[in-house]
Chain A
Amino acid sequence: MTLTLRTVAKTYPGGTRALLPTDLDIAEGEIVSLLGPSGCGKTTLLRIIAGLETADAGASIRFKDDDMTHQPVERRKVGMVFQSYALFPNMSVRGNIGYGLKMQGLPRAQIDARVDEVIALCRLEPYAGRAITALSGGQRQRVALARAFAPRPRLLLLDEPLSALDAALRGQLRDELAALLRQFGITAIFVTHDQDEAMAIADRVAVMSQGRVAQIGTPEVLYRAPETAFVARFVGNSMPLGGRIDGDKLHLPGGTLDLGAPSDGKAAFVRAEDVRLAEDGPLTARVTAVTFLGTHYRIALSGATDDTLFCLHQGQSAPKPGQTVRLAIAPQSILTLTPEKAAA
């Protein structure tokens, strides 16, 4: 099912603008992630799509050809996975998964058949008869997903579905969730503040900041060609190279870099994996800390830029803290972007 949003905005009674007018198009079967820091409006947008919040006047929400703008949540046929799962403690696993089908008024046999099918799909057979309170966090998460998916919703919405789990489990369930969503073949939107999660699961990611979509695109595009400084910082942790740009030269406290092409009035950014230790490099910096991370070292450097610059160094050894090193950054790995507005 395609989803079309036009000028969807949300202003709270106090005057706080949680969401600025937003347009969004999601194609049939596409998995889109809303990614952003807390307070960026991503959950508000998701809840408006679900019908759990009402948008400001002038909004239009269409599910394929149906105008859903003024439909209450119970008529929108969306499946939703809540951050806290919101499983009904008074019902068993089966009862939870079958609830949406019961609401559709299906005959008993049909409900049972569909519940069995979804339970098998989500590999919940051993837990089908259990009480919700007897499940682990990961199991609850899968029951919540199964419950949302069982009534064949037009759209699946997931609000930080992995954030209630501990870190070790999260990574494993992330891949599992991605695989299940593909298997479902359903249009899905999920909200997260974790860029790894968004990139691992989504076909397209909408990076949100301060109530608006800053950029929407595939994970590769967002990573390699961020349009704004915010996206560059949030996706892939780009570091600002604070210095003076003069034609195609960037003058930094630790030396001068070649930009390859003139870019006046813009700010330069670089990612830690693109900062190289090189004996003939143009930048000078002092090592302040070295962290060994198994596959690589993470080296903190001062003196090259105004802030601390990080370098991911793959090698058999690393310089010691206090040592002075020389750095190189290839011109094509420097991102030149329009400077952020003050608040970001």
Chain B
Amino acid sequence: MRIGKALQLAVTLLAAAFLLVPTIQSVLAGVTVNYFQGIRSGLTLDWIAVVWGLYASSIFLSLGIALACLCVTLVIGVPAAYALARNPGRLSRAVEEFISLPLAIPGLALALALLQLYGSYKGFRMSWTFILVGHVLYTLPFMVRSVQSVLAAIDLKTLEEGAATLGAGPARRFVDVVVPNALPGILAGALTVVTLSIGEFNLTWMLHTPFLKTLPVGLADSYASMRLEIASAYTLIFFVMIVPLLLAMQWASARAQQITK
């Protein structure tokens, strides 16, 4: 039994090391003066400054798109989840599947479809909103499902009936009863949407223009055209942004799941 436990631990540590070592190496490379000479050449924050100088606009663009994407998915996703939760049935399930389709279709194909359809509208094609549309398509199912699962777990119909007998019309019920009780699901969905939007590469790669590079697109660009230290410093910045989001997302999902139980 003891040996089994020890073996388990060893395998887990090994697997973690397998994933962690390259990450740590990459992070280290980003703060090393000369990667090919190794740590001996000294540590520096210069590369991070260089990345900031070159790609700050990408960082802000990504944050901007992520927030805009969040707003759109909130405005569309929460009422959609509410409508699906209140009217369960075959039609609702079909709509749900339809909304989830972008998850199954490769981002490249989705992007191609968008380009085919809207590529000729120059103003739209060149604007950041074009990327936003792609991101919304891709992240919307996460928002809808997250909110829907929390709404399905509470007796929404009776709660709303309770509010109605107290004089609340449909709009008041949505604001006073539906949204506050769906909040854990909305929070979990929101963090997922922001995280996915900041990290999305597949679709964005096809939709971006030379003047509109998001964080991951810039990352690919730096890998392709900059020295290794700069690319690594970029990875470091990316980590610093995405890891807290990931942790927050996990925390929020755990909270939402407590309700679903």
Contacts and interface: CB of A to CB of B under 8 A. Distances in A.
B169 interface: yes
A127 B170 CA distance: 30
A78 B163 contact: no
Interface stretch (A99-107, A175-183, A201-209, A306-314): A99-107
B168 A80 contact: no
Given A73-B161, A80-B165, 10 more contacts: A72-B164, A73-B164, A74-B166, A86-B159, A88-B180, A90-B177, A90-B180, A90-B181, A99-B166, A151-B167
Q: Interface residues of B toward A: which range?
A: 10 to 19
Contacts of A77: 167
A84 interface: yes
Given A103-B166, A104-B167, A151-B167, A82 B158 contact: yes
Interface string A67-91: 0000011111111101010111110
Contacts of A151: 166-167
Contacts of A84: 155, 158
B155 A86 contact: yes
11 contacts: A50-B165, A74-B165, A79-B165, A86-B155, A86-B159, A88-B180, A89-B181, A90-B180, A99-B176, A104-B167, A151-B167
Interface of B: 154-155, 158-159, 161-169, 172, 176-177, 180-181, 183
B159 A88 contact: yes
Contacts of A88: 159, 162-163, 176-177, 180-181
A82 B159 CA distance: 9
A147 interface: yes
A148 interface: yes
Contacts of B168: 74, 99, 103
A84 B162 CA distance: 10
Considering residues A50, A86, A89, A157, which has the most beta carbons from chain B within 10 angstroms of its beta carbon? Answer: A86
A157 B183 CA distance: 31
Interface in A93-138: 99-100, 103-104
A277 B162 CA distance: 53
A84 B172 CA distance: 22
A80 to B, nearest CB: 4
A207 to B, nearest CB: 26
B166 to A, nearest CB: 4
A225 interface: no
A27 interface: no
